[in-house]
Amino acid sequence: MTCREKEKNKSVKNVSDAGKPQFGEDVATEWLLGSDGAMSLRMGRASAGQGRSGEPALGKAADHYVRRLHFITAAIDLWGACGYSHVTISGLAERTGVTYGSMRSCFANRDELVQECVRVARERIGLDKSGYVAAAHDANQLVETFIDDVCTSMRVHASLHRIRYDLLSQSMFDEGLVADAQSIHAAWMSGISGFAERLHALGGSGSDAVVTTRVIEDLFARTMHRHTVDSADAARLLAADLRAYVEHLLGRTADESI
């Protein structure tokens, strides 16, 4: 998706306080998930009326919204690769090849840019989006679905998890980052704790669900720090570690493994 699109006809009604344009009924929008876990937005005509090139006929407010979203995606990449200190208006302008003025037209200051990255991380990093934990009635199926969910998150949302760990580290020295660090971490940990509680209810393990939650996160963090997380080997190793731990919880032997 390009950062600059020509203004076509006025299919945008207005812009909300949050900066999200309200599109007419004939404009279809689709959120896309990048390989790094960041979001982008595809817009197109739900009915006839596209331009000659097939591009959507979008207004000026929609163009601004799409460019802003593109920059947020680039900022997440930058933060995940280089750390919090590199996420600045000037740093992002240099990375994306746009002018500083163009970047300032989308973000008033660095704090606004950082908060947008935090918002995306908080919204996208969670587990159990389909509600499979509450619906589970079989421990084996629950475990396999959860392991796949966790390994997928590590691979697809790698940049978001790097942001999570970076913020937890930075917040130890900057009290202003504590709330952001905790909000992202809580969104992730709630999915693990929900699984742990349901597993213990189904499997009857005597181990504490709080301990289970911490061990699973420790296994995840170890894999994140030791391996290239977008590789198949990392996912395989994490899945094996998680499976072995759960089998231990359920008191199973190697012959009874899941």
Q: Indicate if the pLDDT at residue 183 is higher than 90.
A: yes
- In the numeric block, which tokens belong to residue 202? 């189904």
52 band by pLDDT with thresholds 50, 70 and 90: very low
Which pairing describes strands 21-23 and 12-15: parallel, antiparallel, or unpaired? antiparallel
Q: What is the pLDDT of residues 122-174, one digit of tens each?
A: 999 999 999 999 999 999 999 999 999 999 999 999 999 999 999 999 999 99
Q: What is the pLDDT of residues 208-222, one digit of tens each?
A: 899 999 999 999 999
**Range of weakest confidence among 44-48, 191-195, 241-245:** 44-48
Q: What is the pLDDT of residue 63?
A: 85
Instruction: With both helix axes pointing from N to C terminus, report the angle between 139-156 and 178-203 in degrees, rounded to the nearest 10.
Output: 160
Q: What is the pLDDT of residues 72-125, one digit of tens each?
A: 999 999 999 999 999 999 999 999 999 999 999 999 999 999 999 999 999 999
- The answer to whether the beta carbons of residues 41 and 29 sit under 8 Å apart is yes
Q: Work out the average pLDDT over 240-247.
A: 94
Domain borders along the chain are 12-121, 125-256
Identify the residue whose tokens are 């159990």: 128
Q: Indicate if the pLDDT at residue 42 is higher than 60.
A: no
The topology (CATH level 3) of 12-121 is: Arc Repressor Mutant, subunit A (1.10.10)
- The answer to whether the beta carbons of residues 14 and 64 sit under 8 Å apart is no
Choose between 183 and 46: higher pLDDT. Answer: 183
- In the numeric block, which tokens belong to residue 162? 């790097």
- The answer to whether the beta carbons of residues 193 and 209 sit under 8 Å apart is yes
Terminus-to-terminus CA distance in the chain, angstroms?
Answer: 43
Q: What is the pLDDT of residue 37?
A: 43
Going from the C-alpha of 105 to that of each of 64, 68, 126, 243, the distances in angstroms are 9, 9, 31, 49
Q: What is the mean pLDDT of the chain?
A: 80
Q: Which residues of 51-76 are buried (b: 16+ CB within 10 A; e: fewer)?
A: eeeeebbbbebbbbbbbbbbbbbbbb
